[in-house]
């Protein structure tokens, strides 16, 4: 059984990437495409390291707010710590940077018609259309690199 990849680059539009992910989940469940349709979101490593570095100071600040005594001022410190922690989490989801979606279609040799229908349908639907989808077949030169990248993603 051969598999085909569809690579879509959403740029910095996290919302479109999540819409596309949701649509793939719906199709996967509705059409029983359990192992035939797999996808993984790809975010650069720099964005993940920025998210980790921003989350750590927020946790330390919240812990420092909780260690203050039981006076009336301590409740203000706790709420300030919680609000700053919440505000520190929001920018990490907004400022994730580039997001791409890697979809793997894995149909058996007797399912050629289904494979072709999904290859036509996925790039033509709305959240995927704006991401400039690129189909990578097994014969293409970049197939091995795409396959390794897909296996490396979580």
102 in the same domain as 89: no
How many C-beta neighbours within 10 Å does residue 103 have?
A: 23
Total-model pTM: 0.67
Buried b (16+ CB within 10 A) or exposed e, 62-87: beebeeeeeeeeeeebeeebeeebee
87 in the same domain as 56: yes
pLDDT exceeds cutoff 60 at 3: yes
38 in the same domain as 22: yes
How many C-beta neighbours within 10 Å does residue 7 have?
A: 19
* pLDDT computed for residue 97 by the predictor: 82
Work out how many domains the chain is built from and give that number: 2
Q: Over the stretch 28-44, which tens digit does the pLDDT of each residue have?
A: 999 999 999 999 999 87
The residue among 112 and 69 whose pLDDT is bigger is 112
Q: Over the stretch 102-146, which tens digit does the pLDDT of each residue have?
A: 999 999 999 999 999 999 999 999 999 999 999 999 999 999 999
Residue 99 contacts by C-beta under 8 Å, 6 or more apart in sequence?
Answer: 9, 10, 11, 12, 13, 14, 17, 41, 42, 43
Structural domain including 137 reads 3-44+97-152
33 in the same domain as 102: yes
């Amino acid at each position: 059984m051969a598999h085909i990849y569809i690579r879509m680059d959403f740029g910095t539009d996290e919302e479109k990437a999540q819409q596309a992910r949701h649509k793939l989940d719906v199709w996967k469940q509705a059409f029983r495409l359990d192992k035939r349709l797999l996808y993984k979101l790809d975010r650069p490593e720099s964005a993940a390291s920025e998210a980790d570095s921003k989350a750590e100071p927020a946790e330390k600040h919240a812990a420092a707010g909780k260690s203050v005594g039981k006076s009336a001022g301590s409740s203000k410190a706790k709420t300030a710590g919680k609000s700053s922690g919440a505000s520190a989490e929001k920018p990490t989801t907004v400022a994730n940077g580039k997001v791409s979606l890697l979809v793997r279609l894995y149909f058996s040799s007797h399912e050629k018609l289904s494979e072709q229908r999904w290859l036509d349908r996925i790039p033509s639907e709305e959240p995927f259309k704006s991401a400039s989808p690129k189909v990578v077949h097994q014969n293409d030169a970049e197939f091995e690199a795409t396959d390794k990248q897909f296996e490396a993603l979580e």
